[in-house]
């Protein structure tokens, strides 16, 4: 039987080796390879034959086809790795420029909306996973990467291994969240869906974890069922967690640690959407004396 898969070119193999040497995450490696593959498709020949003008034309091509600023910058990052690191030809990038990404405030749900959203999930595994995302402020990738052993009911923490930026940290574990996790654990074990010491939220095959795509589908369905007309994603629960803590007067530096933010400025963004705080501020108009 003849295999239909194409052999890896020496250029791609060298780029893969360069990424492995730098211990880039599998997700980043896949993204960079995808970027280079698309550029090669546009070019119609091997990327290592590209000129400065070819790269400039490609950026114009992407802009003309409506690529978002975030996607454009991600594309430039992948190409930068190829030409600077793998090919050692940084001069080819002189006509390519990252673009400004418009600043947008995150979508935040009210506490009542979060309660409706989670209650609208009819699958216990998904409902518990969404509770973890909101109750501990985790990213979707961090939720699906949790293992049973990451739950520490004595210290009331969740251990997050190799979160964003390849950093370990501890997240909070509230009594309510612990009870929900115990209920899920008992159900999953009774159904034979959870391996000893395995994933906290296993996929259809318990050897594999639940995917972030499945979680995103679950939250979109829940938002529709709960009749929430805001644009909701898994990250919306993380945004809501941080905003609600800020409204509860939790020190912003504590929130920074809980979220795993490197810079305080990133966490400070939530002050702009914490409406309870805004309502407590007295407008100077209210203090004017009648004349």
Catalytic residues: 139, 164, 235, 238, 261, 270
User: b vs e for 198-233, b when ≥16 Cβ sit within 10 Å of the residue's Cβ?
Assistant: bbbbbeeeeeebbebebbeebbeebbeebebeeebb
Element at 158 (helix H, strand E): strand 157-163
Neighbouring-strand partners of residue 151: 158
- Which residues are within 8 A (CB) of 72 and not within 5 positions of it... i.e. 6 or more apart? 59, 62, 63, 98, 99
User: ∠107-109-113 over CA atoms, to 5°?
Assistant: 150
96 is written with which tokens? Answer: 């390519």
d(CA 123, CA 119): 10
Q: What is the largest CA-CA distance in the chain?
A: 94
């Amino acid at each position: 039987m003849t295999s239909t898969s194409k052999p890896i070119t020496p250029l791609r193999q060298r780029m893969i080796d360069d990424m492995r040497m730098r211990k880039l995450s599998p997700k980043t490696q896949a993204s960079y390879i995808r970027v280079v593959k698309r550029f090669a498709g546009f070019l119609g020949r091997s990327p290592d034959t590209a000129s400065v003008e070819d790269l400039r034309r490609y950026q114009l091509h992407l802009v003309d086809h409506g690529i978002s600023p975030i996607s454009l910058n991600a594309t430039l990052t992948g190409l930068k790795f190829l030409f600077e690191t793998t090919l050692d030809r940084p001069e080819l990038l002189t006509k390519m420029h990252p673009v400004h990404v418009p600043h947008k405030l995150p979508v935040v749900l009210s506490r009542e909306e979060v309660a409706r959203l989670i209650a609208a999930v009819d699958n216990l595994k998904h409902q518990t996973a969404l509770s973890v995302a909101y109750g501990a402020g985790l990213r979707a990738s961090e939720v699906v990467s949790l293992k049973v052993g990451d739950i520490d009911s004595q210290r009331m923490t969740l251990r997050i291994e190799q979160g964003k930026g390849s950093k370990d940290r501890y997240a909070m574990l509230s009594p309510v969240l612990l009870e929900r996790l115990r209920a899920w654990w008992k159900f999953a074990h009774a159904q034979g869906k959870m391996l000893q010491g395995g994933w906290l939220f296993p996929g259809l095959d318990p050897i594999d974890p639940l995917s972030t795509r499945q979680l995103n589908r679950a939250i979109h369905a829940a938002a529709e069922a709960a009749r929430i007309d805001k644009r909701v994603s898994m990250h919306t629960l993380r945004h809501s967690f941080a905003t609600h803590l800020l409204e509860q007067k939790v020190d912003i530096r504590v929130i920074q640690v809980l979220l795993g933010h490197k810079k305080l400025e990133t966490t400070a963004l939530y002050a702009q959407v914490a409406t309870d705080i805004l309502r407590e501020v007295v407008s100077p108009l209210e203090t004017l004396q009648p004349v």
